[in-house]
Amino acid sequence: MLGPILATHGLLLALITPATFTTSVAGAAVYTALALVSPGPVAPDWWLGLASAASSAATSAPGSCSALSPSKPSTQPRL
Protein backbone atom coordinates (compact mmCIF):
# COMPACT_ATOMS: atom_id res chain seq x y z
CA MET A 1 0.00 0.00 0.00
CA LEU A 2 2.89 2.35 0.67
CA GLY A 3 4.75 1.62 -2.59
CA PRO A 4 2.55 3.72 -4.92
CA ILE A 5 2.61 6.62 -2.47
CA LEU A 6 6.41 6.54 -2.27
CA ALA A 7 6.66 6.29 -6.07
CA THR A 8 4.49 9.36 -6.60
CA HIS A 9 6.73 11.30 -4.22
CA GLY A 10 9.77 10.55 -6.37
CA LEU A 11 11.36 7.52 -4.70
CA LEU A 12 12.90 5.18 -7.25
CA LEU A 13 11.11 1.91 -7.93
CA ALA A 14 14.47 0.16 -7.71
CA LEU A 15 14.46 1.07 -4.01
CA ILE A 16 10.78 0.40 -3.34
CA THR A 17 10.60 -3.11 -4.81
CA PRO A 18 13.27 -4.80 -2.62
CA ALA A 19 11.83 -3.14 0.47
CA THR A 20 8.35 -4.43 -0.39
CA PHE A 21 9.69 -7.95 -0.93
CA THR A 22 11.64 -7.84 2.34
CA THR A 23 8.54 -6.70 4.21
CA SER A 24 6.52 -9.56 2.72
CA VAL A 25 9.13 -12.14 3.73
CA ALA A 26 9.32 -10.68 7.25
CA GLY A 27 5.52 -10.79 7.56
CA ALA A 28 5.41 -14.44 6.48
CA ALA A 29 8.16 -15.25 9.00
CA VAL A 30 6.24 -13.54 11.82
CA TYR A 31 3.03 -15.43 11.02
CA THR A 32 4.97 -18.69 10.85
CA ALA A 33 6.56 -17.99 14.25
CA LEU A 34 3.14 -17.15 15.70
CA ALA A 35 1.79 -20.44 14.36
CA LEU A 36 4.41 -22.31 16.38
CA VAL A 37 3.42 -20.74 19.71
CA SER A 38 -0.31 -20.03 19.26
CA PRO A 39 -3.07 -22.55 19.82
CA GLY A 40 -5.21 -21.33 16.89
CA PRO A 41 -4.54 -21.24 13.14
CA VAL A 42 -2.52 -18.10 12.36
CA ALA A 43 -0.19 -19.31 9.59
CA PRO A 44 -0.46 -17.65 6.18
CA ASP A 45 -2.20 -19.40 3.30
CA TRP A 46 0.97 -20.41 1.46
CA TRP A 47 -0.71 -21.44 -1.81
CA LEU A 48 -2.56 -18.15 -2.06
CA GLY A 49 0.64 -16.24 -1.30
CA LEU A 50 2.66 -18.16 -3.87
CA ALA A 51 -0.04 -17.71 -6.52
CA SER A 52 -0.19 -13.99 -5.79
CA ALA A 53 3.60 -13.64 -5.92
CA ALA A 54 3.82 -15.57 -9.18
CA SER A 55 1.14 -13.47 -10.85
CA SER A 56 2.77 -10.25 -9.64
CA ALA A 57 6.18 -11.34 -10.90
CA ALA A 58 4.76 -12.42 -14.25
CA THR A 59 2.98 -9.14 -14.84
CA SER A 60 5.52 -6.70 -13.40
CA ALA A 61 8.79 -8.15 -14.73
CA PRO A 62 8.09 -7.57 -18.46
CA GLY A 63 6.83 -4.06 -17.77
CA SER A 64 9.89 -3.08 -15.80
CA CYS A 65 12.43 -4.51 -18.23
CA SER A 66 14.04 -1.60 -20.06
CA ALA A 67 14.81 -3.74 -23.11
CA LEU A 68 11.11 -4.50 -23.60
CA SER A 69 9.81 -1.02 -22.83
CA PRO A 70 9.90 1.78 -25.36
CA SER A 71 12.08 4.70 -24.38
CA LYS A 72 9.88 7.59 -23.27
CA PRO A 73 10.71 10.68 -21.26
CA SER A 74 9.63 10.51 -17.65
CA THR A 75 6.73 12.75 -16.73
CA GLN A 76 5.81 13.71 -13.22
CA PRO A 77 2.09 13.67 -12.40
CA ARG A 78 0.70 17.14 -11.81
CA LEU A 79 -1.76 17.91 -9.08
Residue 35: give the domain boundaries: 9-40
> Is 55 part of a structural domain of the chain?
no
Q: How many domains does the chain have?
A: 1
> Is 32 part of a structural domain of the chain?
yes
Candidates 20, 18, 14; CA nearest to 2 is: 20
Tens of pLDDT, residues 17-61: 777 778 878 888 888 888 888 888 776 777 887 888 787 777 665
| pLDDT value for 67 | 54
> Is 26 part of a structural domain of the chain?
yes
> Is 60 part of a structural domain of the chain?
no
> Is 51 part of a structural domain of the chain?
no
pTM attached to this predicted model = 0.46
18 compared with 75, residue with greater pLDDT: 18
- 74: pLDDT strictly greater than 80: no
What is the spatial distance between Cα 14 and Cα 33, in angstroms, rounded to a whole number? 30
| pLDDT value for 38 | 83
> Is 74 part of a structural domain of the chain?
no
